[in-house]
Structure 1
Amino acid sequence: MKSGRKIQLIGASAIALMLAGAAQAQDTTPQSEAATGGLEEIVVTAQKRSENIQKTPAAVTAFTGNALVQSGTTDLRAVQNIVPGARFQQEGATTQVILRGVGSNLDFGAIEPTVAFNVNGIFTPREGTSQPLFDLDRIEVLPGPQGTLYGRNALGGTINISFKRPTHDLETSAVLEGGNYDLMHATVVQNVPLGEGVAARAAIDFTKRDGYMESGAYSKDDIAARLGLLFDRTEGFTAYLWGQYTKRDGSPSNLVNKGFDPVTGQFSKDAFLRDRPWDDLRVGAFADPSALPFGQPIAEKQKYNLYNFGAQFDLEVADGVTLTYVPGYFHLDSNSSYWLGVIPDYKEDNYRLITQELRLSGNSDRLNWLAGLYAYTQKTYGYSFVGKASGPFGFIASGVLHHRVKGIAAFGQATYDLNDAWRLTAGGRLSYDKRKGSGISPDVGNPLFTFEKSFKRFDYKIGTEFDVSPTAMVYLTYQTAYQPGTFNEAPSTPTFSNLINSPKLSSITGGFKSRFLDNTLQINVEGFYYKYNDLLLQAYDASKPYNQVFNAKAETYGVQIDTVFQPTPDDRLSASLGYLHARNKEFAVPGLAAFEGLSLPYAADWTINVAYHHDFHLSNGYIRPAVDARYESTYFADFVHTPGTNQKPTWRENASITYFADTNKWSAGLWIKNITNKAVIAATAAAGIPGPATAYLEEPRTYGARVTFNF
């Protein structure tokens, strides 16, 4: 298809979808914190500077910490329910992050995510995405390649988490929840002023519940503690230091069989072995010893100890010029046992990551700019074993015993105002990365392998924005991103190189952001086209001990429309409609031509998010009933569309009713999630007995009560 034709299709889709109506996820901020004269202004830092989200030339989705609490969002996996075109799905201790079809579903020790997850501006590795979300200031989701400002691993976009900083007020707050599966959840926060220009903030989050699965697996017993310190005594200088410890116990989720109908004895793509899909035990003919080589699945154990620390120092060196330094440290030891259907599995990951970013930023009447340096060193160990050494069989699935990747980068970006309405943006990033690894290959004979290679890359961004009116802006942006290449877990030979080329993505995005009807109606539209070179894929063949990871080409285009309508201070309707055409185009290994043109993993063509709430006023407060729903069309978990790895089109609905005191000191309410108890697959692979697939599942129907305090 010619590029002009593609752009025409994107534009036509945008018009068609806008006529269909659409929107953004619900903002559940209590009324006392929301604007009463129309839609509130939301400030984001997606471009590493504070700016109105309606003036940011990108489809940023942002939520305040209070909105996340009232929607019951306590981890990244729940965020996908309120973000357009996103899949944030569980895979053991990992959360697979996929934006607009771009993401990695490979969790080997040498494979890194393709969407950057940042905590207080500090990159966080893959297993860190499952840490709990509590006492947050905001979360921002920015789709599309972000190679200029965020560097490696931002091919598909970025997710930015910001904790609430200490303030100079004495404050105590808490969130208490209880629900089915014996859920107990509590967050307690204490903010303390420690003198002139010094404050501290401490928070503890605890979650415990029974397992969703019949064996008792998929349970939680987690605790996290955080301490933050703020120093702003000296004019023009601010220091924010923080540290967090997270410990996760409980039992990991087991995978259930998918794609085999026990009644007919035939493969059936949507079938589970049990009427309740979360039942991971085997009965009847499937309990025959020949079908249970290791016995019945049980609730296994996990170890997850995460220490992450960071800081941000801001110094005003001149009028309108600020020097910022952001150091970070990430330390994780994680291992877990779980069942792939009726086969036990063990996985271990260990991370040591040091990051440093130094940037200088400034602004004048017409120019906003920043320039910076970035450096990191990451050491990892990744190992997994399928089966048991004492069982009928067992094999290494991944054996990266030593892995180090380090790099430096110089970057900059500037926006120049040509006049009061027209702006130009340009930026670039020069990166140097070096990867070194060794380990035990899963291939026949388990030979040792080594790898060492350096990578260089220049990514850039060019964009323009134009204010059509004081409340409407159009924009057009071209930008690129890359990820340093990696290796297959096999030794290189004269006829085989274990090098996997660097994934690269370039994009064209264009859209408009607007508000109408006296600031009560917001309509944002973005069309996009992505060219994806050297995408990492893996074709699974159960007859082979090791399945090679290889490069491929893909093409993605689509449109996203976000709309919010607040006709009165008491009513708010929001919705999002996304169309995504994400298809693989060409493979670097022979024999896969039959799969060209199929959709990428977890890339639903259509997604819809809708939400509504209304406030009923009482003498001393108000009651807010709220409902929201998410629709995804069918998608597959692998690029060859193996039967059983598909998810049928699904609506999932949530509801809540909450009483807010007028003083904003407390609230109480009831909530229910996944009302119709839909079974939706998360990480899924072509494997299992009888197969053809095994799948993690998202949460079943849950319900409970929530109380919040703020004194």
Structure 2
Amino acid sequence: MRNARKFQLIGASVAALVLGGAAQAQDAQQAEGAASGGLEEIVVTAQKRSENLQKTPAAVTAFTGNSLVQSGTTDLRAVQNIVPAARFQQEGATTQVILRGVGSNLDFGNVEPTVAFNVNGIFTPREGTSQPLFDLDRIEVLPGPQGTLYGRNALGGTINISFKRPTHDLETSGVLEGGNYDLMHATVVQNVPLGEGVAARAAIDFTKRDGYMESGAYSKDDIAARLGLLFDRTEGFTAYLWGQYTKRDGSPSNLVNKGFDPNTGQFSENAFLRGDPWDDLRVGAFAAPGALPFGQPIKEKQKYNLYNFGAQFDLEVADGLTLTYVPGYFRLDSNSSYWLGVIPDFKEDNYRLITQELRLSGKSDRFDWLAGIYAYTQKTYGYSFVGKAAGPFGFIASGVLHHRVKGIAAFGQGTYKISDMFRVTVGGRASYDKRKANGISPDVGNPLYDFEKSFKRFDYKVGVEYDVAPTAMVYLTYQTAYQPGTFNEVPSTPLKSNLISSPKLSSFTGGLKTRFLDNTLQINVEGFYYKYNDLLLQAYDASKPYNEIFNARAETYGVQIDTVFQPTPDDRFSASLGYLHARTKSYKVPGLTAFENLSLPYAADWTINVAYHHDFHLSNGYIRPAVDARYESSYFADFVHTPGTRQKPTWRENASLTYFADSNKWSAGLWIKNITNKAVIAATAAAGIPGPATAYLEEPRTYGARVTFNF
């Protein structure tokens, strides 16, 4: 009977795959005490309600906070190692977030992210993506448009970060790490019950590390502190308030020269000037006065002070009816100096953001729904200066003196159960956004510019899902999304406006989520097609004062296959295979025909993620060796495919060996990342001396030891 049931489920899964395609989901942690030895159930809030990940008709990659600790993930940049078809890479004080080939690849004040980063349900601007990740409940990554529920800046997807909330237990926990480059990292958490229905949770995270670069640049000296309060004394009412302060005092990474072979004196796409790619100093002919207009690159400084506060109030107004209010405040003051090869650069960013969301949700036997209102006001200013005022080549690269964006939106989504197996989802969002700005143009003569424009948009979603078997679901979704338009940093003229039109997206997604073989094997597949109109693209050339933003039409389609196999409680294997075809089709501005049908920035055609661990049991605990690897095919860092901005195909591997006590009170282990010490580019720009490009680099080989405790 058991074998017959297995074959029925396999047959149903194959039939579903033929009918529709599939959905992607992945979990990074084996649940403690899984009685059956099978895969655990994962609860996510991707649709702003708690539900089983395998029953969520959307592509969701979810990771628990404990799994992130054991994988050594302490910031968003490290998350890319475990998320398929994604790049989360450094760009100074920010993190470029790119999902399925779509994301903002510049960090100037007039360019907003196209992937939303939310902390406890509150939108966080781009520079907030570099805050440390600690004491987390989970991370959820949703690729593709999320315009109905998440609105602006969710054109390419959404990343949701959730902190651990206070509990009514007395708990002390933490993480201690040490490693090469004199790494010292510690997280300490104290949870305290304060009486009936009241609890507090305090956490502090500290990281100090020497620089990865020869000059001493690319170092860390960061500290973050968080306090959370929970009130649930009154039945049917819960209040969660939290605040966090982050201070970063390390040295920013310098960019290194790429694309010039010092041995031949000729262009070579994959060449760096030094045998150690992270060596940012110049020697020999490259140390001649003409090659060092400002002297040798040095270890520069940064200032980064982030304050973010938020809350969530939930009131059960009737049986199955809940009112939720989520206010948030974000303030950032950041500036840093760094080197574009041998040219110094300075950048400053300042943010003030207030957000508010009020929503009402209902749940019955056949109908789940929510409706809400969202409003925000964001004020920013900042600038970027290349070179030095007293030397050659000095110019303003961006000069936003005042930039205010405000908006309001009404949204709703409902899922109706037509039968026990068939469900229909319909949603919509009406948005109004207004942008006003002025500044100093980086164009010749540095004239002043101003901009003011309002934008309106209605996005919608229609989806169906069908359970073809108890553990197999297929779905098909059509969804739209948009982002408010922006401006080029030049004055408008009668012949050419500085307006950049609003990017818009229409998308089809078909998916399958399934488990079989007695809940030990999960195979999820997703096929998708995205059509972008007026997508924002900009190629940064460090030698040019002004780099124009262009609107383009683009097309993206692909497929992703994710598997998790747990044949025994002690063995777990996961693998993801992704194919992505992300290409520009045409440009709104004439003269760019030569760049049509080229891949989008940082959009590798193929990605592979694999991981395996096995538990060896001892008398009082178990030892877990774990390995994982990620492959990316080649990609370019800009849409014009500038020489020197291409990353060659690369495998990167990580490993760890950890002892876990059966009491779950502590663990200790060793870890190593980027075992083969591969140099992989992050944010990359044209120009440089000698050029043709300069590039940030991801981290080199690192290793160390980790101890966790929980009492």
Instruction: Give the TM-score normalised by the residue count of structure 2.
Output: 0.96
Q: Which residue of 1 aligns with 2:75?
A: 75
In the alignment, the residues of structure 2 paired with residue 73 and residue 541 of structure 1 have an alpha-carbon distance, to the nearest angstrom, of 32
Which residue identity lines up with residue 67 of structure 2 in the other structure? A
Partner secondary structure for residue 407 of structure 1: strand
State the shift of 1:539 in Å: 4.0
Instruction: Report the identity percentage.
Output: 89
State the shift of 1:167 in Å: 0.1
In the alignment, the residues of structure 2 paired with residue 93 and residue 506 of structure 1 have an alpha-carbon distance, to the nearest angstrom, of 32
Moved over 6 A (4+): none
Q: Deviations over 1:149-203 (max 9, x none)?
A: 0000000010000000000000000100000000000000000000000000000
In the alignment, the residues of structure 2 paired with residue 374 and residue 539 of structure 1 have an alpha-carbon distance, to the nearest angstrom, of 33
Deviates more, 1:325-334 or 1:635-644: 635-644
Query: Structure 1 residues 478, 52: CA separation in 2 closer, same or farther (over 3 Å shift)?
Result: same
State the shift of 1:75 in Å: 0.2
Q: Which residue of 2 aligns with 1:492?
A: 492
Q: Which residue of 1 aligns with 2:244?
A: 244
State the shift of 1:588 in Å: 1.4
In the alignment, the residues of structure 2 paired with residue 124 and residue 202 of structure 1 have an alpha-carbon distance, to the nearest angstrom, of 21
Q: Deviations over 1:604-652 (max 9, x none)?
A: 0000000000000000000000000000000000111111100000000
Matched, 1:27 2:22: no
Query: Structure 1 residues 544, 273: CA separation in 2 closer, same or farther (over 3 Å shift)?
Result: closer
Correspondence list, 1:74-473, <5 A: 74-473=74-473
State the shift of 1:288 in Å: 0.4
Q: Which residue of 1 aligns with 2:625?
A: 625
Q: Deviations over 1:17-38 (max 9, x none)?
A: x99xx99767244x63555430
Q: Which residue of 2 aligns with 1:7?
A: none
Q: Which residue of 2 aligns with 1:593?
A: 593
In the alignment, the residues of structure 2 paired with residue 70 and residue 154 of structure 1 have an alpha-carbon distance, to the nearest angstrom, of 29
Q: Deviations over 1:394-423 (max 9, x none)?
A: 000000000000000000000000000000
Partner secondary structure for residue 147 of structure 2: coil
Query: Structure 1 residues 426, 532: CA separation in 2 closer, same or farther (over 3 Å shift)?
Result: same
In the alignment, the residues of structure 2 paired with residue 274 and residue 628 of structure 1 have an alpha-carbon distance, to the nearest angstrom, of 29
Which residue identity lines up with residue 89 of structure 2 in the other structure? Q
In the alignment, the residues of structure 2 paired with residue 23 and residue 319 of structure 1 have an alpha-carbon distance, to the nearest angstrom, of 34
Partner secondary structure for residue 81 of structure 2: helix
In the alignment, the residues of structure 2 paired with residue 541 and residue 673 of structure 1 have an alpha-carbon distance, to the nearest angstrom, of 32
CA contact (8 A) 1:26 1:612 kept: no
Query: Structure 1 residues 490, 438: CA separation in 2 closer, same or farther (over 3 Å shift)?
Result: same
State the shift of 1:542 in Å: 6.5
In the alignment, the residues of structure 1 paired with residue 128 and residue 385 of structure 2 have an alpha-carbon distance, to the nearest angstrom, of 22
CA contact (8 A) 1:173 1:708 kept: yes
Partner secondary structure for residue 295 of structure 1: coil
Query: Structure 1 residues 101, 301: CA separation in 2 closer, same or farther (over 3 Å shift)?
Result: same
Q: Which residue of 2 aligns with 1:643?
A: 643
Q: Which residue of 2 aligns with 1:533?
A: 533
In the alignment, the residues of structure 2 paired with residue 294 and residue 456 of structure 1 have an alpha-carbon distance, to the nearest angstrom, of 47
Which residue identity lines up with residue 397 of structure 2 in the other structure? A
Which residue identity lines up with residue 425 of structure 1 in the other structure? T
CA contact (8 A) 1:652 1:675 kept: yes
Q: Which runs of 5+ in 1 are unaligned?
A: 1-10
Partner secondary structure for residue 639 of structure 1: coil
Which residue identity lines up with residue 37 of structure 1 in the other structure? G
In the alignment, the residues of structure 2 paired with residue 697 and residue 550 of structure 1 have an alpha-carbon distance, to the nearest angstrom, of 26
Matched, 1:612 2:612: yes
Q: Deviations over 1:305-337 (max 9, x none)?
A: 000000000000000000000000000000000
CA contact (8 A) 2:25 2:53 kept: no
Which residue identity lines up with residue 609 of structure 1 in the other structure? N
In the alignment, the residues of structure 1 paired with residue 37 and residue 219 of structure 2 have an alpha-carbon distance, to the nearest angstrom, of 44
In the alignment, the residues of structure 2 paired with residue 264 and residue 558 of structure 1 have an alpha-carbon distance, to the nearest angstrom, of 40
In the alignment, the residues of structure 2 paired with residue 86 and residue 291 of structure 1 have an alpha-carbon distance, to the nearest angstrom, of 37
State the shift of 1:547 in Å: 1.9
Partner secondary structure for residue 253 of structure 2: coil
In the alignment, the residues of structure 2 paired with residue 543 and residue 276 of structure 1 have an alpha-carbon distance, to the nearest angstrom, of 25
CA contact (8 A) 2:316 2:322 kept: yes
CA contact (8 A) 1:26 1:573 kept: no
Q: Deviations over 1:317-371 (max 9, x none)?
A: 0000000000000000000000000000000000000000000000111000000
In the alignment, the residues of structure 1 paired with residue 541 and residue 673 of structure 2 have an alpha-carbon distance, to the nearest angstrom, of 37
In the alignment, the residues of structure 2 paired with residue 605 and residue 522 of structure 1 have an alpha-carbon distance, to the nearest angstrom, of 24
Q: Which residue of 2 aligns with 1:53?
A: 53
Q: Deviations over 1:558-582 (max 9, x none)?
A: 0011100000000000000000000
Q: Which residue of 1 aligns with 2:11?
A: none
State the shift of 1:589 in Å: 1.6
Instruction: Give the TM-score normalised by the residue count of structure 1.
Output: 0.96
Correspondence list, 1:632-671, <5 A: 632-671=632-671
Partner secondary structure for residue 79 of structure 1: helix
Query: Structure 1 residues 572, 540: CA separation in 2 closer, same or farther (over 3 Å shift)?
Result: closer
Query: Structure 1 residues 312, 542: CA separation in 2 closer, same or farther (over 3 Å shift)?
Result: closer
Q: Which runs of 5+ in 2 are unaligned?
A: 1-13
CA contact (8 A) 1:480 1:505 kept: yes
Which residue identity lines up with residue 592 of structure 2 in the other structure? L
Counting matched residue pairs gives 694
Which residue identity lines up with residue 283 of structure 1 in the other structure? V
Partner secondary structure for residue 148 of structure 1: helix
State the shift of 1:211 in Å: 0.1
Which residue identity lines up with residue 157 of structure 1 in the other structure? G
Partner secondary structure for residue 169 of structure 2: coil
Which residue identity lines up with residue 41 of structure 1 in the other structure? E
In the alignment, the residues of structure 2 paired with residue 91 and residue 539 of structure 1 have an alpha-carbon distance, to the nearest angstrom, of 14
State the shift of 1:535 in Å: 1.0
Which residue identity lines up with residue 27 of structure 1 in the other structure? A
In the alignment, the residues of structure 2 paired with residue 358 and residue 392 of structure 1 have an alpha-carbon distance, to the nearest angstrom, of 53
Partner secondary structure for residue 290 of structure 1: helix
In the alignment, the residues of structure 1 paired with residue 679 and residue 205 of structure 2 have an alpha-carbon distance, to the nearest angstrom, of 28
Q: Deviations over 1:111-133 (max 9, x none)?
A: 10000000000000000000000
Partner secondary structure for residue 77 of structure 2: helix
Query: Structure 1 residues 171, 210: CA separation in 2 closer, same or farther (over 3 Å shift)?
Result: same
Query: Structure 1 residues 542, 71: CA separation in 2 closer, same or farther (over 3 Å shift)?
Result: closer
Matched, 1:674 2:680: no
In the alignment, the residues of structure 1 paired with residue 161 and residue 33 of structure 2 have an alpha-carbon distance, to the nearest angstrom, of 21
Which residue identity lines up with residue 288 of structure 2 in the other structure? D
Q: Deviations over 1:267-326 (max 9, x none)?
A: 100000000000000001000010000000000000000000000000000000000000
Q: Which residue of 2 aligns with 1:5?
A: none
Query: Structure 1 residues 438, 390: CA separation in 2 closer, same or farther (over 3 Å shift)?
Result: same
CA contact (8 A) 1:23 1:564 kept: no
In the alignment, the residues of structure 1 paired with residue 640 and residue 270 of structure 2 have an alpha-carbon distance, to the nearest angstrom, of 17
Which residue identity lines up with residue 453 of structure 1 in the other structure? K
Which residue identity lines up with residue 225 of structure 1 in the other structure? A
In the alignment, the residues of structure 2 paired with residue 24 and residue 670 of structure 1 have an alpha-carbon distance, to the nearest angstrom, of 28
Which residue identity lines up with residue 419 of structure 2 in the other structure? N
Partner secondary structure for residue 148 of structure 2: coil
In the alignment, the residues of structure 1 paired with residue 523 and residue 260 of structure 2 have an alpha-carbon distance, to the nearest angstrom, of 44
State the shift of 1:58 in Å: 1.3
In the alignment, the residues of structure 1 paired with residue 254 and residue 54 of structure 2 have an alpha-carbon distance, to the nearest angstrom, of 43
In the alignment, the residues of structure 2 paired with residue 543 and residue 181 of structure 1 have an alpha-carbon distance, to the nearest angstrom, of 33
In the alignment, the residues of structure 2 paired with residue 653 and residue 547 of structure 1 have an alpha-carbon distance, to the nearest angstrom, of 36
Partner secondary structure for residue 437 of structure 2: strand
Partner secondary structure for residue 32 of structure 1: coil
Q: Which residue of 1 aligns with 2:5?
A: none
Which residue identity lines up with residue 697 of structure 1 in the other structure? L
Partner secondary structure for residue 128 of structure 2: helix
